[in-house]
C-alpha cells in the first residue's frame, strides 16, 4: 500500500479507531471533516467528532473494526468488514451485551486527510441492547 495514498489514510484511520487513539483520529481528519452514520445523521468538524468518538468509546469500550476487503478509486476508498464491541452503560463489559455487524465504510480523502467518513452498517444489534437497558 502506497504511503499517504487515500487507501493508506483510510486504513490508518481504522487503526486509530481500533486503538481508540483520539489524537490520531483528529490528525487524520480535514478541518471540514464530516461523518455520516448509517441513518444519514451528519456530524461535522474536528471538535464535534472528538466529543462523538469519546462518547462512543465510553459506550463501547472494546469497539473494533476488522477490514476484510478494500476498494480504492481516486480519492474514494470503500472498506468492507465487521464492526464489533460490547455496549455498556456503566463501564462493565458483560458478555450478553457483545454485538457484531457487517460494516461498509466509504472514505473520501483529500490531501492526505479524511474529508468524509460514511458508515453503512446495521446498528440494530446495538440498538436492541440499548433499548433493553444493556
pLDDT in tens, 32-85: 999 999 889 999 999 899 999 999 999 999 999 999 999 999 999 999 999 999
CATH code of the domain covering residue 98: 3.10.450.50
* 8 Å CB contact between 67 and 94: no
State residue 128's pLDDT score: 72
Residue 116 CB: number of other CB atoms within 10 A?
20
State residue 89's pLDDT score: 86
* Tally of domains in the chain: 1
State residue 90's pLDDT score: 87
pLDDT in tens, 82-120: 999 999 988 889 999 999 999 999 999 999 999 999 999
Instruction: Evaluate if pTM is beyond 0.85.
Output: yes
Tell me: pLDDT of 132 over 80.
no
Residue 134: pLDDT band (50, 70, 90) is low
- Residue 114 belongs to a domain: yes
3-state helix, strand, coil in the chain (%, to 5): 35, 40, 25
Residue 41 CB: number of other CB atoms within 10 A?
9
- The residue segments making up the domain with residue 88 are 6-131
- Residue 1 belongs to a domain: no
Amino acid at each position: 500500500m502506497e504511503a499517504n495514498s487515500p487507501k493508506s489514510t483510510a486504513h490508518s484511520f481504522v487503526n486509530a479507531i481500533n486503538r481508540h487513539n483520539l489524537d490520531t483520529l483528529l490528525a487524520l481528519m480535514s478541518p471540514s471533516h464530516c461523518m455520516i452514520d448509517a441513518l444519514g445523521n451528519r456530524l461535522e468538524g474536528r471538535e464535534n467528532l472528538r466529543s462523538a468518538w469519546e462518547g462512543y468509546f465510553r459506550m463501547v469500550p472494546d469497539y473494533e473494526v476488522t477490514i476484510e476487503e478494500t476498494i480504492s478509486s481516486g480519492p474514494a476508498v470503500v472498506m468492507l468488514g465487521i464492526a464489533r464491541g460490547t455496549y455498556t452503560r456503566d463501564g462493565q463489559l458483560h458478555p450478553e451485551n457483545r454485538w457484531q455487524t457487517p460494516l461498509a465504510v466509504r472514505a473520501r480523502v483529500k490531501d492526505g486527510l479524511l474529508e468524509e467518513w460514511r458508515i453503512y452498517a446495521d446498528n440494530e444489534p446495538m440498538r436492541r441492547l440499548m433499548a433493553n437497558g444493556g
